[in-house]
A and B are shown apart, each in its own frame.
Chain A
């Protein structure tokens, strides 16, 4: 498995091939395969592979469009509810139905609870295990010694005296913050169930609205749990700031771990019932009224906040995935409902043609296709990433400066948040400032601030829902008819980033259904033009800070880089620590043997 190579015409270096497969503490199957130069402590190359194929877009063809949210929910076991809701937004567009305000608010309340759950369990029971005392002891013992004697600046609020105490609180199954978060991840799912019925595949999220019976009791049950959560967040954010700042201070250059250009995508989420009518033709306006703003950035420049323009920029490329091209297949959509041209490589026209084959790192090595954003200014296809969700959502929202609902205000360079008084803490103000770099630490930090942001969206929508219920407007669903022909899209945000469902209805049945979840945006392999996917790019930029040599190398910096994107491939990362045998340095121009 392990080999070494020297690229032709370059200095001979001993490079170790190492892979981690499966990558655990994520949802789904992912493998990362790398070549590491232990002399210069750099990752030379990285490949990301997904090992599972199921073919949803194939077996959804021909079904009743009203079944699409039930079926597509099952794409993912942690963002299933995000898929279900996206499918409902998509269907609302296709059927021309607008739920009553309580229905729109029901979607938001369920999804806000999902973010509160998801960001909590992923950050502190999965990703931050990479920052726990046990892990740091095994990978960077020197750093742990420093942590033992470094006081935590926020100890007055969170109660941990030193940075090492914070690390200990994150030890799996013994650390008190880890254990508390497991409980938090339960009562936040209770909140989800109050509006969605079940987590992760909901029973009450439907096209036309929310079918749960919403009463004063539903709102009360949500309210008490939400305030408990806000209390928790007030301790959580300062604690994470202390931990992450410590890494950046003590390990100069750590801001290059998982570094990428600021090429971000965010589709926006949480519609305001006063603006949204689910019509494609008015999507620009209601998209900009969302509580999280949609947007695309290239190299740190916010290019657009217009969902119609964003839709036109989407392309699906092949290159290294196990599929045949669809150039000879039917073209479903040539222009969108506003008359804008739609490309053959757009999701509306994508046809899935699987072709299982041997894995070959130089050719085809993954079941994930390569979504790209087309930059018409210079005719290029950019491998944008979702920043693991919160990072891109907050970056776009802060920069766009459109959001201001009292509890949260976007300033153009930051997000200002006000958390109301709770049982054990006074009112607290938080400010998330747009960071200079897109890297692992900032993605993780954004996630902890996003717990506060999600809770505040929940609080705002709950207040609006209570007003509806108290004034007797308890209807949360409107009827609709399925048209014979329709072209529609649902744009949303799964916890870990952009999520779109594109649908074409012909003869009253699904003619094409193309879901594009966040992880294909992040975990995809090299495309037709050889451009690596974001994980590959981020891992290739990652310097090695781990104190272990090749013999007991754990790849912790690489793991932090990958997990910062919150991978969720019901597909997986396969990294393979092995001993990474070093054979003789040799020329293998074709690459890996």
Chain B
């Protein structure tokens, strides 16, 4: 039954749309993105499956970490998606994609069993089957977006990101490129918010998501860690921590990669706004970046560029800015205005326009 009042135009119509989320966790991954997703609050998983936002389509999430069904019963959604019975569906991929051309008769990773041969169906095979039909493909976590840890130097599996495997010029059935939500794991709300956005987009309620050159949503990844960090002020004043923990100054000399990393965690926090990385004392290890991890190791050593910039700040205008600010605070801003005193005279500059109230010191 349609609601008596529509709070947004065509509310009943778009709320009747059923959008499926096929969430694959069998890339080379740790399932950390699915686990993180259960902690999201903006929106929460419950918000998504109970259609908490007016006009949002009905979203049915197929994810192995929380699914009620098991085995073939659970896998049915994958076969249905392949057969075009789930329309639209969003394919969410978690984990990097191995090179199965190198695994001979075996496999690096798979999900479900081939009904004919009894052998596992590889994750790569699922991508081949499902990406042409998906309304959108979302790579969550740095493994799926750019390869991440399993794609480190010397890895035996030839791992890579989803876009590396299906092509950076890929377009989904709805004409969208791969949407990348990097992070190791991805920040929980970044994932659920992007899914909500796509659901609204597929229902015709939101424009095409704006992505940058690495296919990241611009509103989430437009700023660097430093640009959002609560320790950035220290950096500006040329003040850098010399040990971890109780020293709350900028961490860049201790290995923080924040100045050259696109990520919103210092702004959004980690869990319900709490936690994070340099904002709470942990060095940024650049886990959202395409060059992660190899280009940033060893993590606890300072980054070359960051170090140069820090040295410049430390020995040029940083100390001047700091001296000026501290002086101004000490002499001026940390001192109350002079008129806040007891006594029989009003010193505030109050101009009395009333015959009844004209204390000593007030002006007429």
Contacts and interface: CB of A to CB of B under 8 A. Distances in A.
Q: Do A and B come from one complex?
A: yes
A539 B36 CA distance: 30
A33 B243 CA distance: 52
Nearest to A49: B120
Contact of A21 (B66, B107, B113, B157): B113
B57 to A, nearest CB: 17
Nearest to B111: A22
B35 A66 contact: no
A75 B30 contact: yes
A197 B70 contact: no
A71 B185 CA distance: 12
A64 B299 CA distance: 9
Interface stretch (B196-204, B282-290, B309-317): B282-290
Nearest to B152: A59
Interface string B135-155: 000000000000011101111
A13 interface: no
Interface string A72-113: 001111101000000000000000000000010000000000
Nearest to A475: B246
B270 A55 contact: no
B246 A476 contact: yes
A4 interface: no
A25 interface: yes
B109 A52 contact: yes
A24 B157 contact: no
B89 interface: no
B39 interface: yes
Interface in B51-70: 64-70
A479 B28 CA distance: 35
A55 B149 contact: no
A52 B108 contact: yes
A561 to B, nearest CB: 13
A194 B38 CA distance: 18
Main secondary structure of the interface of A (DSSP, over half): loop
B29 A53 contact: no
A19 B32 contact: no
B120 A199 contact: no
B234 interface: no
A29 B243 contact: no
Contacts of B103: 356
B38 A475 contact: no
Interface stretch (B160-168, B271-279, B323-331, B333-341): B271-279
B120 A67 contact: no
A109 to B, nearest CB: 13
Given A22-B64, A356-B104, A203 B119 contact: no
Contacts of B276: 193, 197-198, 203
Nearest to A197: B282
Contact of B35 (A71, A200, A572): A200
Interface string B222-258: 0000000000000000000001111010000000000
Most chain B CB inside 10 Å of its own CB: which residue of A52, A196, A475: A52
Contact of B272 (A190, A200, A358, A574): A190
Given A25-B67, A71-B293, A206-B244, A198 B74 contact: no
Interface of A: 1, 19-29, 31, 51-56, 58-59, 61-64, 66-67, 70-71, 74-78, 80, 103, 121, 125-126, 129, 134-135, 172-173, 179, 182, 185-187, 189-190, 192-194, 196-204, 206, 208-214, 221, 322, 354-359, 474-477, 479, 554-555, 559, 570, 572, 574-578
30 contacts: A1-B118, A22-B71, A22-B75, A25-B65, A28-B31, A31-B113, A51-B109, A54-B155, A56-B149, A59-B152, A59-B155, A63-B298, A70-B285, A71-B149, A77-B31, A129-B68, A134-B68, A182-B46, A190-B272, A197-B276, A197-B281, A202-B282, A204-B280, A204-B281, A209-B245, A211-B245, A212-B280, A357-B105, A359-B119, A555-B70
Given A199-B39, A356-B107, 20 more contacts: A21-B72, A23-B71, A25-B66, A52-B26, A54-B150, A58-B155, A59-B154, A59-B155, A80-B30, A190-B271, A193-B270, A193-B271, A196-B275, A200-B185, A203-B277, A211-B281, A214-B245, A356-B108, A474-B245, A477-B245
